[in-house]
Amino acid sequence: MRSSNTVKSIKKLSGALVGIPPRHINFQFPDSMPKYFYAGNATATTFFAMLSGFFPPGERYFMESVRHFRGQVQDESLRAAISGFMGQEAIHGREHDRLNQILAEYGYDMQSPDRFVKIGLAILEKLPPSTRLAATTFMEHFTALLAEQLLEDENFVRQADPEMIKIWQWHALEELEHKSVAYDVYELIGNSRTERVAAALASMVVLLPMLGITWSWMLVK
């Protein structure tokens, strides 16, 4: 039987206490920031601008896919991890919305990635809730792999604008912190390898062409 102090400590679990602290960071982007903030290269920089445009709708999709099953989670540590995940993803969306406004002022067509990703996500939203969660686990795994590369590749860091790289490294760090949350929830509701494969294929069929089309369109614009 748990003591009252133990019960109180469990009730106080938060995202921060399980290693997923939502950090309320307000990034400041100087007026002197170069338009081509990655290696002075327009093509590569446009790719990062496109990703930033994808992030706010994508983060909301991830959050909703996990939120759908939050009521089934009884484990207090996992509930705290979900809260941390939600907090981090919400702040990611907020800060990338701000960055996207600045990129639009620099002349980037930021309406296109927002429009295209919403079309792709609308297709994925037609999947059953458990398949949407499986798709989220796949995409979260993919973003975690990118995050590791971004944090560990010293050559990449050297070529990026020193102010702009801060938001990407912060985002990458938090992606690694919460990378297992969606999978842990999916494991709880009944992990199906067949469904995971189907969700991964659906995600790639929908999102990979969308990435290529959006990037090309932004470069043309």
**Dihedral angle over CA of 152, 158, 163, 164, nearest 10:** -70
> Structural domain of residue 181, as residue ranges?
38-220
Contact 60, 128 (CB under 8 A): no
Assigned domain for 194 exists: yes
Query: Angle 203-204-205 (CA atoms, 0-180°, nearest 5)?
Result: 95
Express each pLDDT in 159-198 by its tens digit.
999 989 999 999 999 999 999 999 999 999 999 999 999 9
Determine the pLDDT at residue 12: 65
Residue 38 pairs in a beta bridge with 160
Assigned domain for 18 exists: no
Residue 212 has pLDDT above 70, yes or no: yes
CATH number, domain at 56?
1.20.910
d(CA 65, CA 128): 10
Residue 160 pairs in a beta bridge with 38
Element (H, E) at 23: none
Assigned domain for 1 exists: no
pTM as predicted: 0.89
Assigned domain for 158 exists: yes
Collect contacts of 207-210 with beta carbons under 8 A, ≥24 apart. Answer: 207/120, 207/139, 210/116, 210/117, 210/119, 210/120
3-state secondary structure of 90: helix
Express each pLDDT in 102-156 by its tens digit.
999 999 999 999 999 999 999 999 999 999 999 999 999 999 999 999 999 999 9
Helix 129-152 × helix 193-220 angle, to 10°? 60
Residue 11 has pLDDT above 70, yes or no: no
Assigned domain for 15 exists: no
Assigned domain for 31 exists: no
Determine the pLDDT at residue 221: 85
Domain count, the chain: 1
How would residue 2 be classed by pLDDT, with cut points 50, 70 and 90?
Answer: very low
Assigned domain for 155 exists: yes
Assigned domain for 4 exists: no
Mean pLDDT of 33-37: 91
